[in-house]
């Protein structure tokens, strides 16, 4: 397996200059999170953490909402305009083969893939590729999921700054008397963790609960009911920092990021290499005809890729580092005859998610990310980028073959 990895990464010989330089990417790979969903736990499961009833959602736990589908279709329409502007995909039906959409097999990802396709190709009935709901896709979930990764570390400082605020939002009160009363009613308190493992577990729960409150805001519930009336955009922005922190500790850190993300990144790299005219032992995500490949993934996938690539896209305009519809974008561009990789983050703002509308210029926070493989530069020659990744990916944590993905119409 290690020889195979070296074959993939070290075969990246410099390409001779061919043709004129162009600002248009040769190929673009977009890895994005699914749209707004209901919390994965129902109100009864969440009840022990709060003194008040949780929101009733219009769909079953973990399912994409109609509002979420509308947001993904709007995102697809915004992407269509962006792609047409930079020449990666015209949006025309006769070029539909240049667009490939791959969704994970979970119902929310399949529904998001269908909604995204409707926005990207409203007149073409563009399919999305996905395994059946009963079959796990190794692109997004490689091997046996290690639940202990979630409990790998506690914060150096306890409690995190936002944890007391989250606890008060959940209980509807503050102070020692509030906590004592909650204990007497057998509420589960996040601040009671006494040791590192208990604190790591409490932070994981806090991250999930803060995400649930973010989803209430993004779903467009009335302001008076989001986080029981305490969830304006600023408050949600502070609380979601707990989810970011938990992912920093449990998902982005190496080697957990390599165990979970190497398979997806190996196939992304192979896609870039094939677009540069290279043969690779790892299968690309799509045929050489594809100009844009979109992967409808999860927040976990984004965190693992961020850790593997050692990049950070924090931005005050979107405090949630893994929002619904948030994406990492890989571009292969030809600069002065050299094929180079560029990486950027595209994150819908909280307001755009709440309105399910990303048409405004400022509704999508787009940032070019510096690549450590090239000392933080925005552009990195493909051979250099690939060689650097050899030191990062886990050679035992990827499969060179691609799963057979059936086409599904939106």
Residue 246 lies in a domain: yes
Question: Which residue range(s) make up the domain with 220?
Answer: 153-250
Task: Give pLDDT tens digits for 128-157.
Answer: 999 999 999 999 999 765 555 566 678 889
Q: What is the pLDDT of residue 154?
A: 85
Residue 11 pLDDT: 41
| 228-267 pLDDT per residue, tens | 999 999 999 999 999 999 999 999 999 999 999 999 999 9
23 and 169 share a domain? no
User: Helix 196-219 to helix 241-250 angle, to the nearest 10 degrees?
Assistant: 130
pLDDT band at 302 (very low <50, low <70, confident <90, very high): very high
Residues 395 and 258 in one domain: yes
CATH number, position 183? 3.40.50
What is the rounded CA–CA span in Å between residue 403 and residue 385? 25
pLDDT at 147: 56
Tell me, yes or no, whether 125 and 262 share the same domain: yes
Has residue 386 got a pLDDT over 80?
Answer: yes
Predicted pLDDT at 153: 79
Residue 85 scores a pLDDT above 70: yes
Work out how many domains the chain is built from and give that number: 2
- pLDDT over threshold 90, residue 3: no
181 shares its domain with 311: no
Residues 297 and 222 in one domain: no
Q: Are residues 270 and 335 in the same domain?
A: yes
- Reading phi first (left if > 0) and then psi (alpha if -120 to 50, else beta), residue 379 is in beta
Check whether residue 205 and residue 237 sit in a common domain. yes
Whether residues 178 and 135 share a domain: the answer is no
CB 128 within 8 A of CB 408: yes
CA 255 to chain centre: 19
**pLDDT at 15 > cutoff 60:** no
Residues 230 and 262 in one domain: no
d(C-alpha 195, C-alpha 319), whole Å? 29
Where a domain ends, among 185, 216, 250?
250
Domain CATH number, residue 379: 3.40.50.1240
Tell me: do 102 and 169 sit in the same domain: no
Domain boundary among 189, 222, 250: 250
Tell whether the model's pLDDT for residue 4 goes beyond 60: no
Would you state the structure tokens that stand for residue 301, as one six-digit string? 């996938």
Tell whether 190 and 131 lie within a shared domain: no
Q: Is the pLDDT of residue 198 over 70?
A: yes
148 is a domain residue: no
In this predicted structure, the answer to whether residue 203 has a pLDDT above a threshold of 70 is: yes
Q: Which of 193, 217, 250 is the last residue of a domain?
A: 250
């Amino acid at each position: 397996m290690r020889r195979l990895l070296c074959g993939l990464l070290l075969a990246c010989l410099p390409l001779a200059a061919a043709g004129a330089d162009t600002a248009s990417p040769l190929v673009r790979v977009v890895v994005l999170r699914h749209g707004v969903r209901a919390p994965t736990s129902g109100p009864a499961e969440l009840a022990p953490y709060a003194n008040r009833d949780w929101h009733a959602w219009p769909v079953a736990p973990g399912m994409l909402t109609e509002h979420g589908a509308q947001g993904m279709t709007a995102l697809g329409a915004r992407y269509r305009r962006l792609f047409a502007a930079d020449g990666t995909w015209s949006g025309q039906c006769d070029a539909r083969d240049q667009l490939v959409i791959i969704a994970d097999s979970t119902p929310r990802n399949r529904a998001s893939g269908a909604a995204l396709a409707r926005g990207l190709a409203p007149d073409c009935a563009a399919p999305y590729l996905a395994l059946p709901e009963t079959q796990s896709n190794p692109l997004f979930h490689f091997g046996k999921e290690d639940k202990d990764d979630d409990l790998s570390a506690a914060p150096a400082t306890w409690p995190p700054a936002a944890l007391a605020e989250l606890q008060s939002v959940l209980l509807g009160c503050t102070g020692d008397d509030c906590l004592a009363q909650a204990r007497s009613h057998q509420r589960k308190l996040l601040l009671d963790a006494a040791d590192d493992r208990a604190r790591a577990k409490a932070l994981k729960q806090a991250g999930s609960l803060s995400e649930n409150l973010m989803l209430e805001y993004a779903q467009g519930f009335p302001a008076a009911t989001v986080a029981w009336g305490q969830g304006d955009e600023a408050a949600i922005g502070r609380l979601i920092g707990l989810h970011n922190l938990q992912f920093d500790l449990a998902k982005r850190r190496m080697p957990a990021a390599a165990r979970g993300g190497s398979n997806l990144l190996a196939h992304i790299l192979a896609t870039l290499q094939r677009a540069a005219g290279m043969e690779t032992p790892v299968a690309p995500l799509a045929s050489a005809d594809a100009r844009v490949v979109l992967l409808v993934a999860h927040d976990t996938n984004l965190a693992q890729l961020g850790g593997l690539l050692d990049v950070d896209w924090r931005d005050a305009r979107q405090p949630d580092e893994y929002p619904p519809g948030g994406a990492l974008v890989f571009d292969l561009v030809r600069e002065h005859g050299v094929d180079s990789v560029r990486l950027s983050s595209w994150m819908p703002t909280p307001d755009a998610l709440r309105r399910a509308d990303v048409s405004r210029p400022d509704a999508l926070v787009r940032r070019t990310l510096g690549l450590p493989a090239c000392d933080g530069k925005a552009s990195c020659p493909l051979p250099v980028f690939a060689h650097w990744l050899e030191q990062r990916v886990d050679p035992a944590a990827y499969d060179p073959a691609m799963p057979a993905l059936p086409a599904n119409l939106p």
